[in-house]
Structure formats: structure tokens, C-alpha cells
Amino acid sequence: MTGTISEQLHQQILNARENERKHIARELHDEIIQSLITMNYHISEMRQHRAQDNTLSLARLQDDLHQVINNVRQICVALRPPVLDSLGLAAAIRSHVRELERRGLCRIGLHVPDELEQSIPEPIAICLYRILQEALVNVQKHAEATQIVVKLDLCDSTIRLLVQDNGKGFSLPQQLDQLLHARHFGLVGIREQLDMINGTLEIASAPGQGTRLEATVLLPHAVTDNQQELREMYA
């Protein structure tokens, strides 16, 4: 990767993080803070009219409070889904896909084991979950797909995440960094995330033929086992 491309990628990652912070701040201000201000106004009204029947006002206040709770919960889930910590990567992927289907994204064929035979290190689990999020956002924004396949499997100490769609696809350049010039930062960002955990990214796409994205990560203990085998071979 050339210095110029590296600098562009680094700056884009910083910009993406800053945009995420702006989005969260906007959500907190527009949804949560404004709702709390409204609730405070209702409480002031009730205090000024204590002698009147406040049943309707209390019901309205309770509805507002429930909405604030739901909004806060959605923000927290977007930041880091609780199910990822409590039940692991497979459950978090299932939960995210179900939520997208509930919103009517499109049909998603999900192939995820009920339980992974071993625990996935937290950095790898978080990275793969974020990659899934980014990949599905890209499909929603650009692919015009009607079907998506999401598959997670663990084989020979290697964990793989596959996201494939039947959308319009695109012309894949020889070097992924060239996507920066076309402002396709999502895929380059995914590759950057995988680089940080020594993972690999394979992308297959062509106009009219959909897109296939596969992220592969060798689990840490597998690296240790391979190193031990090499030591034994050459001892």
C-alpha cells in the first residue's frame, strides 16, 4: 500500500469514527434529550395543576418514558449488542439478521451454528460482527438485492464469515485500494479491520452477478499449534 493510499485509508477510518460519534450525539440530542425536555414540561404542568385529574397526563408521561427507554436501548445495541457479550458471536449475528428482516431489508438466508464448539476471542468476535454490519449496510445502500446469504462456520480452527447477495454487483479492481478513488470506503475499511487481527478478505463481484464477501481468521491457538508442529518437524 503506498503512503498516499495508506494516508487516505487512515483518514477515512478517522472520518468514519468521527461521523459515528456525530450520529450518536445527534441521536442523543434529537431523540433522548428532547424527549426528556418534553417529559420535564409535562411534570411542571402537573405540579401546577395538582387539584385536577392527572390520570391522562400520567399516562402520556409514561408513554414518553417508555419511548425514551426504547431509544436508549437501540443506541446501546448499535454501539455494542449485549448479546455479543452474553451469548457470543453466533447469537449476535442471528439477532442482527432478525432485526434487519423485521425492518424489511430483504430475504436473508442465515446459516449459523446454534453454538460454536469453542469460544471466539473477543477482538475477533467484535471484528467479524462489525464486518457483518458494514457488509449488510453496503448491500442495503448499493446492491439492490432481493436475497442475501449470511454464513458463519468454524473449520480446522479457522472461522469464516460469508455474506453473499444477488444484487447488481460491480467491477472489482485488481487492487482493492483502487476503490478509494471511487469512494467505496466500506470494503477497504473491512479489509483494514481484518488486517488488525491477521485475517484475510476475499471479494468476488461483477456487474449483474451480485457480490460475495468472505472474511477468514485463523484463531490464535491454531497459530500456536502450527508453530509447535513446525518445531517438532525440524527438531
Contact predicate 168/143, CB 8 Å: yes
Average pLDDT over residues 116-140: 85
How far apart CA 32 and CA 35 sit, in angstroms, is: 5
How far apart CA 162 and CA 153 sit, in angstroms, is: 9
Sign of CA dihedral 172, 176, 181, 183: positive
pLDDT at res. 16? 61
User: What pLDDT, in 10s, does the model give residues 5-59?
Assistant: 555 555 555 566 656 666 676 676 677 777 777 777 777 777 666 645 666 667 7
- Give the E-state strand segments of the chain in sequence order: 107-111, 147-155, 158-165, 200-205, 211-218
pTM above 0.85, yes or no: no
Q: How far is CA 26 from CA 19, 20, 41, 81, in A?
A: 10, 10, 21, 20
- Biggest CA pair distance of the chain: 90
pLDDT at 204 over 60: yes
Lowest model confidence (mean pLDDT) among 26-30, 119-123, 144-148, 214-218 = 26-30
CA torsion 89-90-95-96 (nearest 10°) is 60
How far apart CA 175 and CA 5 sit, in angstroms, is: 11
How far apart CA 168 and CA 171 sit, in angstroms, is: 10
Per-residue pLDDT band at 215 (split at 50, 70, 90): very high
